[in-house]
Amino acid sequence: MTQQKIMNETAWFGAGALRLLPQEIAQRGVHKAFIVTDKTPLAAVTLRRVTEFMDAHALPWSLCHATVAHLTCDSLAHGVAAFQQSAADYLIAIGGKAVQETTNALRSLITHQHNRQTDNHADNASPATHIIAIPTTAGISAEVTMSYVISDEDTECKFVCATRHNTPKVAIMDAEIMASLPLALKIATAMGALAQAIEGYLTRDAWAVSDMLHLKAIKIISQSLRDAVTSDIDALEQMALGQYISGMGFAEQSLGLVHGMAHPLTEFYNLPEGLAHAILLPRVMAWNAPYTGDKYRDIARVMGVSHADIVSIDLARLAAVDAVKQLCRDVGIPSSLKQAGLREQDIPLLAQAALNDAATAGNPRQPELQDIIVLYHEY
């Protein structure tokens, strides 16, 4: 079996890393930036800092608020037209997951005018039009991944698009930016990062390199998350590193049922994806446990369970699930989906959508529709 690992050319970590943006731009032979962002207060503050750095170094730029909650080819048309009119030749993404995925989608449309009739994983895009990613959250990993999810207006279906050229050339993870994120979003994105790391470790697509990365990510995230949500800069630096390492691991993989069940929840209720991940993670882990070999022992160990290596595998699996449950309690995650807005009458539709979701294919235990219905009901 052949495997590949695609990453940024350059990634910067640490408080104050944003100051290195001008030198990254200058050495890449580009001429004008097209900045993609949203209108959140944090993005506005970061945008001001970015443009001040660029103005001080005489680096031209233009701005587009092109971010949309649900990407479609038509909804992105404004951004594509604005890019073409701007005479820009590279993209800067400032924001969370929606901004980063919007920028990836814009790049695809700009470089090869995405054809909905072709293979959505086709790797025929031009390597031109680089992306520089500046995430404002420590938990999405979009700055190291190549994909985005887009809706086809004609078929009303969603599909994942991925091309290696969409991986940002440069990623800048500045903890000073992330410190200003509202508490609820800090918690949701951080728990989303943990869910990504755990599902990436357990997926059917796992291999030696992804296992190494995900296990390290689980350790870093679980050790830093409690302090990171209080805006402790050192802990935020570790969170940013941990979620980036997780993204390195799962960039070319399917994940699992937590993500498969979370995606329709975000569609139905506009629930933050990381919050949905956090609520679902302990229960789905418990359901998957018999199909995971010794991996829960590894998870328990790196999450600080002192007896993980001396108990039976059943107890080690229980310890791993309990460690995740305790972390959820410590940061105030709701204990049920009903508290987050789940309606019983929606469960059949939610379950069918989860079963059809691309992420579900990576789950170590293959679910039937009724299994997913039961898992939703248990919340």
Instruction: Give 124's pLDDT tier (boundaries 50, 70, 90).
Output: very low
pLDDT for res 114: 47
In whole angstroms, give the CA distance from residue 115 to residue 131.
21
Does position 351 have pLDDT exceeding 80, yes or no?
yes
Which residues are bridge partners to 160 per DSSP?
Answer: 149
Residue 133 phi/psi, 5-degree rounding, is -100, 130
Does position 229 have pLDDT exceeding 50, yes or no?
yes
Cβ atoms of 255 and 354 within 8 Å: the answer is no
CA angle centred on 49, ends 140 and 47, rounded to 5°? 55
DSSP 128-182: -SEEEEEESSSS--GGG--EEEEEETTTTEEEEEE-GGGS-SEEEE-HHHHTTS-
Helix extents (H) in 203-232? 208-228
Write down the mean pLDDT value for the chain.
87
Distances (CA, A) of 266 to 109, 332, 334, 354, 366: 25, 19, 16, 11, 22
Contacts of 199 (CB under 8 A, 6+ apart): 250, 255, 256, 258, 259, 362, 363
Q: Measured in whole angstroms, how far is the alpha carbon of residue 121 from the centre of its chain?
A: 18
Over the stretch 17-55, which tens digit does the pLDDT of each residue have?
A: 999 999 999 998 899 999 999 888 888 899 999 999 999
pLDDT for res 225: 95
pLDDT for res 366: 97
In whole angstroms, give the CA distance from residue 159 to residue 361.
14
Which residues are bridge partners to 150 per DSSP?
Answer: 159
Residue owning tokens 């660029």 = 54
pLDDT more than 70, % of the chain: 87
- DSSP structural state of residue 310: T
Q: Is 155 exposed, middle or buried (0-12, 13-18, 19+ CB in 10 A)?
A: exposed
Length reported for the chain: 379
Residue owning tokens 């998350």 = 225
Over the stretch 152-205, which tens digit does the pLDDT of each residue have?
A: 656 445 566 666 677 889 999 999 999 988 899 899 999 999 999 999 999 999
User: DSSP 3-state assignment of 230?
Assistant: coil
Stated as kind and residue range, the H or E segment containing 106 is: helix 97-112
Cβ atoms of 187 and 229 within 8 Å: the answer is yes
Q: Is the dihedral of CA 99, 282, 254, 293 positive or negative?
A: positive
Tell me which residue of 247, 105, 84 sits closest to 163, measured CA to CA.
105
Does position 120 have pLDDT exceeding 50, yes or no?
no
Domains of the chain: 10-178 (3.40.50.1970), 183-377 (1.20.1090.10)
Q: What is the largest CA-CA distance in the chain?
A: 64
Helix extents (H) in 1-96? 21-26, 41-56, 77-86
- Of 127-131, 195-199, 238-242, 295-299, which range is least confident? 127-131
